[in-house]
Amino acid sequence: MWFMLAQMVFAAMEPPERVVPGETWAAKTPEEVGLDRAALDLFAEYVGGRGCVVRYGYMVYSWGDAAERGDVASAAKPWYAHFLLKAVEDGKIGSVDDPAVRFEPRLNEINPNLNHKDAKIAWRHFANQTSCYGVTEPPGTAYCYNDWQMALFWDTLFLNVYGATRENVDETVVHPLLTDALQCEDDPTFMAFGVKERPGRVGVSPRDFARFGLLYLNGGNWRGRQLLRRDLAAMAVSEPLSNAIPQSAGEAAAMIDGQRSIGSRNVPDNQTDHYGSYSWLWWTNGIDRQGIRHWEDAPDDAYAASGHGGKRFMGVVPSLDLIVSWNDSGVQSWEMTNEAWRRLVASFLAK
């Protein structure tokens, strides 16, 4: 219903020519792109923190300091998927279905009582949180949102596949393969807390994170350059897990000696279900086992990177040519994220 109403509003205006930012964002007022400033003010007041709204490639609204770089917690995970798919495109990895044990032989050594199940972990399993690393199920049979496996994924991909170190991963991988091309303004980093404190955590400003969202909205293309193959970029945000895949039972299994976590230290770590909405480390607006849409008040095609229950967030809505990015917000749950979406959508419907 909201979309039909929005179409009626949009039909009365000629949308501006789409742009892609260069060294800085081109700007327009909310009204120039069909948004209501007062409604956006109410949205930003609810979300809190700092952030920005982008439409048609223009920076149209911001609150707080959208240039401040900060840790984005689990919202970093789509960056990991991006570099996995880039490694496949560049031939560093043959396929997302290749076993990760080729780059991390210690996976052969653990859980002999479980038929060395971890040797069968494929890259696809890491990037959909179905590796079942640290729990007893075989890879691919259950969903386990697990920060121990994320650390293993990050270390294996960036240190072993890309051949980087924690000290040089920004200079040898992140900047040349992604953020330099996006012309990010605020120096994104994989070392949000430094090389000794949870390496792999992304530090990025809301306005730079919006550039990453715009890359995916544009199918992996940036100013005429294909930074990621279009089919891979589309796959990343459009293949949510089937509801036939259960959440892990959460029975602990052995991990590699000395295994670090990139966040949670719970053992076993089994934080949430996928709700029919988890796609290559992105959250989509899918439908769960009870037939309920993930964000009922968001457009069906919305997808997002989300951390700390929505406190740190970047969302994309292709049907509206819209990106929203925030950090340090007061949003702390899926319900609050949905309410933020509702208020943002209301800015299209206000007369």
In 3D space, the residue among 306, 317, 326, 329 whose CA is nearest the CA of residue 35 turns out to be: 317
How many CB atoms lie under 10 A from the CB of residue 300?
A: 14
| Averaged pLDDT, 236-245 | 98
Return all residues near 349 (Cβ < 8 A) that are at least 6 apart.
2, 5, 6, 9
Would 62 be classed as within a structural domain?
A: no
Q: What is the chain's Cα-based Rg?
A: 20
Average pLDDT of 24-48? 97
What is the rounded CA–CA span in Å between residue 155 and residue 159? 5
Cβ atoms of 101 and 119 closer than 8 Å: yes
Task: Tell me the two tokens of residue 285.
Answer: 């607006």
Q: What is the mean pLDDT of residues 205-209?
A: 99
pLDDT surpassing 50 at residue 281: yes
In the prediction, which pLDDT does 89 show?
98
Nearest CA to 197 out of 189, 205, 185 is that of: 189
Whether 18 maps to a domain, the answer reads no
196: which 2 tokens?
A: 């000794």
Q: What angle do CA 14, 184, 304 make, to 5 degrees?
A: 65
pLDDT in the model for residue 7: 46
* Residues in Cβ contact with 195 at an 8 Å cutoff, skipping those fewer than 6 apart: 166, 167
Q: pLDDT at residue 6 above 60?
A: no
Domain coverage including residue 78: 70-205+222-290
Query: Does residue 334 belong to any structural domain of this protein?
Result: no
In terms of Cα–Cα distance, which of 23, 29, 64, 59 is closest to 43? 64
Q: Do the domain assignments include residue 295?
A: no
Q: Count Cα atoms within 13 angstroms, Cβ side, for 340.
A: 30
Residue 3 has pLDDT above 80, yes or no: no
Query: What pLDDT does 350 receive?
Result: 45
User: At residue 20, does pLDDT exceed 90?
Assistant: yes
Q: Is residue 113 part of a domain?
A: yes
Task: Indicate if the pLDDT at residue 229 is higher than 60.
Answer: yes
157-167 residue pLDDT tens = 999 999 999 99
User: What is the model's pLDDT at position 105?
Assistant: 98
- The residue among 97, 141, 103 whose CA lies nearest residue 123 is 97
DSSP letters, 178-227, are IITTTT-SS--BS-TT-TTSSTT--EE-HHHHHHHHHHHHTTTEETTEES
Q: Tell me what pLDDT residue 14 has.
A: 81
- Residue 254 burial by CB count (10 A; 0-12/13-18/19+): exposed, middle or buried? middle
- pLDDT of 13 reads 65
Residue 11 lies inside a defined structural domain of this protein: no
In a domain, 44, yes or no: no
**Statement: residue 44 has pLDDT above 50:** yes
To the nearest whole percent, how much of the chain has pLDDT over 70? 95
d(C-alpha 154, C-alpha 152), whole Å: 6
Residues 283-315: pLDDT tens digits?
Answer: 999 999 999 999 999 999 999 999 999 999 999
Q: Over the chain, what is the mean pLDDT?
A: 95
In this predicted structure, what is the pLDDT of residue 349? 59
In angstroms, how far apart are the furthest CA atoms of the chain?
66
User: Per the domain annotation, does 326 fall within a domain?
Assistant: no
Is it the case that residue 12 has pLDDT exceeding 70? no
Asked if pLDDT for residue 176 goes beyond 70, the answer is: yes
- Of the candidates 70, 73, 62, the one whose C-alpha atom is nearest the C-alpha of residue 323 is 62
- Which band of pLDDT confidence, cut at 50, 70 and 90, is reported for residue 1? very low
pLDDT in tens, 88-138: 999 999 999 999 999 999 999 999 999 999 999 999 999 999 999 999 999
- pTM here is 0.95
Q: What integer pLDDT is reported at residue 8 of this predicted model?
A: 44
Query: Cα separation of 213 and 59, whole Å?
Result: 13
- Our count of domains for the chain comes to 1
Give the residue-averaged pLDDT of 220-242: 98
